[in-house]
Structure 1
Amino acid sequence: MKRKTVVGGAVAVLCAALASSGPRTMSTEAQLASSKLSSPPAGSQTTSPDGIFPGPGGRYLYGSDTNGPTPSYSSSEGYYYETGGPSSIYGFYAGEMGVFQQKDGCPNAVNYYSLGDANAASYDSTRIMAIGASEYYFMAGPGISNSAGGDYAWGQAQARWVLGHLVGPNDNNIIWIDIEHDGSVSYTNGWNANGNSCGRRGPGTPLYGPAQDRSTFNGFYNTIAAANYTVGVYSDASVWQTDFGTGSYSSIPNTLEWTYQSDFATNPAPTLGSWCGSGGCADFFGGQSAGGSHAVAWQWSQDAGDFDITYWGSPQ
């Protein structure tokens, strides 16, 4: 998704949601959510366009996030398809339900969410073993100035805002945390530089590191998990290591992961049937690797739109 720094539309009012008083320790992490998706009625299944028959054991599917592409419906097959690239069933959508600048009413702060794409993914999730639609939040790290109440408390405050502003649908009860760096000279997401509440970069050397980053992450994670959602993380290996290091603060072995390599392929065809293609393989983070049961999604092409491949079902 590699979000550009644009900060949000109407000023959102912070809703009272869940109050969390969890211990300020490393997250215990929720386990992988069980699939709630139903199989098509007997006799209605057809071979999918990528040649993979929908059935038990999991499967690779295609999808998109905030930056498209918009799926199309085939009345003859009864499926939504990925468009603009791989000819495959559309089985995944994650839309941005919010961004940290909205929490404090920053001018021009907007989120990006396509209800049409979410409904298309939700439709397919009732017919094939697909992850369906979910939501993600563009999170700020402890370098943002309104974390003054404490790193853990800053994570909690963002989580409470999210719980009060979910837009849905959310087929598998997953809320993704988007952790990435802002490449502009004027703005920061607070993971690797100081900034004010709207993300504008401030002076001075950041007085925090992996411990503080993890504390903010834990505050968010524990609050969302206490509300009975499964937490996932969208990031990449280099960003994750820069923020959380390589020790215990970086370890998330039981958290769902959605990784990105936006320059993997400028041409999103042909379809991939694994975590690898001609340009390389998906690079997961936090102690996880492709093939693990929590390696769920990979954004592997951005130039023609945000193309994602997912694996959903039984562990690989």
Structure 2
Amino acid sequence: MSGQARVSGRGRHRIVRTGLAVLLGAVAALVTTAPAVAGDGPAGFWYGTDSTTITISGGAPYREPVIGGSYGGYVGMLGNWANLTGCNKIVVWSTTDAARAATNRGTYHLGVGVGGYYFMGGPGVDPHYDGTTTEAYAWGARQAAQALADAASRHVTYPVLFADIEIPGHSPSYTPADDNGWNSVYTSPCSGVVRTGFVPVTVDRAVLNGFAGYVTGHSAYRAGVYSAPDIWASIFGSGSASLIPNTYEWTYESFTGSLTHHPYGWCLSGTSTCAHFFGGQTSSSRYALMWQWSGGGGSRNGYGDFDQIDAARTP
């Protein structure tokens, strides 16, 4: 007989179980210690947040709150037309999240850094409203001048400065005018009392033209617009005044209150929820830059505003 020890069936099973336990333990250790794979995609896209502070836990380099992946950028409200006219309303800027985005960009070369938008007022809240496109253009330029001053003080490095054009509804903390003066003319900027319930689309468009012209003429920033297809149509109609083929865009439609599915490109993975742009542009346009996919448009996710940012198209 050989000198090899015999192993009984019972002992053999015990050895197999022990070996399997060791193997599973090793696999578990690998899973526990391996870095998370979560992150944005395809290459060139970054997760980000905007406006209100969302707690970002952990140290640098910082990660996108709640859903994971690298924290790719922050975009905050630079100013509010209602403050330019003395109505004393809020400005939503997170110094904390802006600092984290700046650190990721400046130190770790992650994301796009810090961006800004200006909460725009339409012709109907212009203190000097006279119904002309000339005055509307000047009103847009005055708001742009304030936006540039605010961008300088907040160290905005993202190269596109956004005009926030929306119909906020009854939002007294932000504005005294439910439509921000895009579709109605008010007795005074702060009154909240409608004098005329109509503004020509050409006059509305002149405000945007004044903003964009001043931004590009007095700074290195490019002009962009934050809005959504239905809101855009309700202000500018569907004719030539609505078309902005060479203007950078940030949309907030479609949106969701759920953070279960995350963006990949311009759609939420595993769903039919996708970004829809406006002013004659689509997601395939080189000017389609950002998508606020949760937290905007009245959606609530319990945290704040989440964004998808295409750095490859950023000028």
* TM-score bracket, shorter-length normalisation: 0.7 to 0.9
Report matched runs for 1:249-288 at 5 Å: 249-261=241-253, 264-277=255-268, 278-288=271-281
Structure-1 separation of matches of 2:114 and 2:160: 9
Confirm or deny that 1:176 pairs with 2:162.
yes
Alignment RMSD (CA, Å): 2.5
Say whether residues 1:200 and 2:192 are aligned partners.
yes
Equivalences for residues 1-316 of structure 1 within 5 A = 49-50=37-38, 58-74=43-59, 78-84=60-66, 86-106=67-87, 108-126=88-106, 127-128=108-109, 130-148=111-129, 150-166=135-151, 167-184=153-170, 187-188=177-178, 189-195=180-186, 196-198=188-190, 200-206=192-198, 208-228=199-219, 229-261=221-253, 264-277=255-268, 278-302=271-295, 303-304=300-301, 305-313=304-312
Which stretches of structure 1, 4 residues or more, deviate above 6 A after TM superposition?
none
| Pairs aligned (count) | 260
Larger radius of gyration: 2
1:69 shift after superposition: 2.2
Pair 64,124 (structure 1): closer, same or farther in 2 beyond 3 Å: same
Amino acid at match of 2:216: A
| 1:163 CA displacement | 2.5
User: Whole-Å Cα distance in 2 between the matches of residues 63 and 306 of structure 1?
Assistant: 9
Report the alpha carbon displacement of residue 197 of structure 1 after superposing the two structures with TM: 1.4
Larger helix percent? 2
- The answer to whether the Cα contact below 8 Å between 2:244 and 2:280 also exists between their aligned partners in 1 is yes
Give the Å deviation of 1:312: 0.9
Stretches of structure 2 lacking an aligned partner (at least 5 in a row)? 1-33
Q: Paired residue for 1:7?
A: none
By how many angstroms is 1:168 displaced? 2.0
Does the residue aligned with 1:146 lie in a helix, a strand or coil?
coil
Contact kept? 1:209, 1:243, Cα under 8 Å: no
Larger RCO, structure (CA 8 Å, separation 6 or more): 1
Aligned amino acid, residue 309 of structure 1: Q
Measured in 2, the distance between the counterparts of 1:216 and 1:184 equals 22
Percent sequence identity is: 34
CA distance in 1, matches of 2:191, 2:279: 25
Deviation, 1:209, is 1.9
Structure 1: 5+ residue stretches without partners: 1-45
- Distance in 1, matches of 2:273 and 2:147, equals 35
TM-score, normalised to structure 2, is 0.75
